[in-house]
């Protein structure tokens, strides 16, 4: 059983995506130049975009299938999404951001909270407003927020691109620890080869909306 079983066709203006891949690494890298369709694939998996046709299964659960008419809404897909610029809720504190997923699903996640805070090293930031975080801190909180929504997989869309060089070195080790401890598979999107090589067990290469190679 693959963690990511993806096959989708999708037309967006001038851009067309027709990508098929199966992957099962702990961290799967999705690598390609900008405009190759990486973010589109993430959005298709998360349910923020609907493909014209295809079959998408995550951790053994079918979330979309055009033949059988399955199309789960984003909130039922249990896919933790980390956006490029964090997208923390600006009117909530770091703690409230972290607990948003548990709150939205009506669950408690106090135990997980402590573990996640420790792995990401964000314990001292809990009462801050997102506007008072550095880029690196913001991304770590965004990762924690996604992780605490109890996802079956984590999707990360260039999580360190908006962060300066020094801070990247501060986030990447956290990601490795995360993949080892949290046992949540990660699909990691990046256009920086060094980053993908360092983190990923398996790499899917993308170009012009097509998969060109899988290692």
Partner 1 sequence: METSHLGPDEWQAVALTLRVAIVAVLGSLPVAIAVAWFLSRVRFPGKILIEALVSLPLVLPPVVTGYGLLLLLGRHGALGQFLDEKLGIVFAFRWTGAAVAAAVMGFPFMVRGIRLSFDAIDRDLERAAASLGASSWLAFLSVTLPLSVPGILSGALLAFGRSLGEFGATITFVSSIPGETRTISSAIYALLQTPLGDSAALRLCGISILLSFAALVASEALIRTGQRRLAR
Rule CB under 8 A: which residues touch partner 1? Answer: 46-48, 73-75, 77, 79-81, 83, 87-91, 100-101, 104-105, 130-131, 145-146, 149
Smallest distance, partner 1 to C-beta of residue 79, A: 6
Residue listed under structure tokens 């405009």: 35
Q: Which lies closer to partner 1 via its Cβ, residue 105 or residue 181?
A: 105
Smallest distance, partner 1 to C-beta of residue 144, A: 12
Smallest distance, partner 1 to C-beta of residue 103, A: 8
Residue listed under structure tokens 């899988």: 214
As a whole number of Å, the CA-based R_g of the chain is: 17
Q: Which lies closer to partner 1 via its Cβ, residue 40 or residue 202?
A: 40
Smallest distance, partner 1 to C-beta of residue 178, A: 17
Mapping DSSP to helix (H, G, I), strand (E, B) and coil, where does residue 100 land?
A: helix
Separation CA 60–CA 178 (nearest Å): 21
Mapping DSSP to helix (H, G, I), strand (E, B) and coil, where does residue 20 land?
A: strand
Smallest distance, partner 1 to C-beta of residue 210, A: 26
Separation CA 4–CA 152 (nearest Å): 11
Separation CA 159–CA 40 (nearest Å): 15
Separation CA 85–CA 88 (nearest Å): 8
């Amino acid at each position: 059983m693959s963690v990511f079983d993806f096959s989708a066709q999708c037309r967006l203006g001038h851009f067309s995506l027709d990508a098929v891949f199966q992957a099962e690494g702990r961290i799967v890298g999705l690598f390609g130049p900008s405009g190759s369709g990486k973010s589109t694939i993430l959005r298709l998996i998360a349910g923020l975009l609907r493909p014209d046709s295809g079959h998408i299964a995550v951790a053994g659960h079918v979330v979309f299938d055009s033949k059988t008419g399955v199309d789960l809404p984003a909130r039922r897909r249990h896919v933790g999404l980390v956006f490029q610029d964090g997208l923390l809720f600006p009117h909530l504190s770091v703690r409230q951001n972290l607990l948003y997923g548990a709150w939205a699903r009506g669950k408690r996640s106090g135990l997980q909270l402590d573990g996640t805070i420790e792995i990401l090293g964000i314990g001292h930031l809990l009462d801050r407003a997102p506007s008072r975080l550095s880029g690196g801190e913001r991304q770590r909180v965004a990762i924690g927020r996604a992780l605490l929504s109890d996802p079956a997989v984590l999707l990360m869309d260039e999580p360190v691109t908006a962060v300066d060089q020094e801070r990247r070195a501060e986030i990447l080790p956290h990601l490795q620890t995360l993949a080892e401890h949290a046992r949540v598979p990660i699909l990691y999107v990046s256009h920086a080869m060094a980053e993908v090589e360092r983190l990923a067990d398996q790499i899917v290469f993308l170009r012009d909306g097509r998969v060109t190679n899988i290692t």
